[in-house]
A = this chain, B = another copy of it.
Amino acid sequence: MAASGTTTRSSAKRDALLDTAEGLFARHGYRAVGIDAVLAAAGVAKMTLYKHFRSKEELIAAVLERRGNAIAAGLAKRITAAPEDPGTRLLAVFDWLEQAVRSPEFHGCLFIKAASEYPAAEDLPRQAAEAFKEGCRDLLEGLCRDLAVADPEGLARQLQLLFEGALVVAFLQRTPLAAADARRAAEALLASAPRTGQAGGGHR
């Protein structure tokens, strides 16, 4: 291939490694899956792995980065496909969530698990997880700002709680029902949020 370029970057073997690693890590956890298991399942030699990634942690970080980009793309697609109404666009995030936890490949949030298993601030997986979840909150914040609510940042934080909570509960209970609950709760929060220019706390 002419455009292959320097060394790393996209490569069939590299992609196979990332695909396989993502699946195994999702199903069994990061520390429970050894490098050799990934190698065997991907049909790749060990040296090839260490040519692309300096360490297992770096492989994990790469998996998370790729997965994060894929999620961001899927989310953006859903949002732009939604009608103009800002409320509907915001709720599209929860529609995406519903579809995500319904997928047979869903085994809990890769990022939450990564932060759990590599909890030190200097661990690469932890950093990748923090960055991704911050991006999620930023996305929600942007959508909330399009609403005529008095405190879009606060609403975004509340919605993120529903989002993460649904991921956790769907994983723990092995059922996607939590996503629908999250959507309903999001609708309620949205409807009862104080509008711009309005004083006070919603009810009373």
Q: Which of A107, A154, A157, A162 has the most CB of B within 10 A?
A: A157
Cα-based distance from A191 to B188 in the complex (angstroms) = 10
Residue A32 lies at the interface, judged by CB distance under 8 Å to chain B: yes
Q: Distance in Å from the Cβ of A92 to the closest Cβ of chain B?
A: 18
Chain B residues with Cβ below 8 Å from A161 are 161-162, 165-166, 169, 178, 181-182, 185
Residue A130 lies at the interface, judged by CB distance under 8 Å to chain B: yes
Give the secondary structure class of A's interface: helix
Q: Distance in Å from the Cβ of A138 to the closest Cβ of chain B?
A: 13
A: number of interface residues (CB 8 Å):
48
Chain B residues with Cβ below 8 Å from A182 are 158, 161
Number of copies: 2
Chain B residues with Cβ below 8 Å from A171 are 115-116
Cα-based distance from A133 to B189 in the complex (angstroms) = 24
Chain B residues with Cβ below 8 Å from A119 are 27-29, 107-108
Cα-based distance from A28 to B107 in the complex (angstroms) = 22
A-B contacts, 21 listed (Cβ < 8 Å): A29-B31, A29-B118, A31-B117, A108-B115, A113-B116, A133-B169, A154-B181, A158-B185, A158-B188, A161-B161, A161-B165, A161-B181, A161-B182, A161-B185, A163-B165, A164-B165, A168-B168, A185-B189, A188-B189, A188-B202, A191-B203
Can you name 20 extra interface pairs (CB under 8 A) apart from A32-B117, A163-B165? Answer: A29-B31, A31-B31, A108-B115, A108-B116, A108-B119, A112-B112, A113-B116, A116-B117, A116-B171, A133-B172, A133-B173, A157-B169, A157-B178, A158-B188, A161-B162, A162-B165, A185-B189, A187-B201, A188-B193, A192-B192
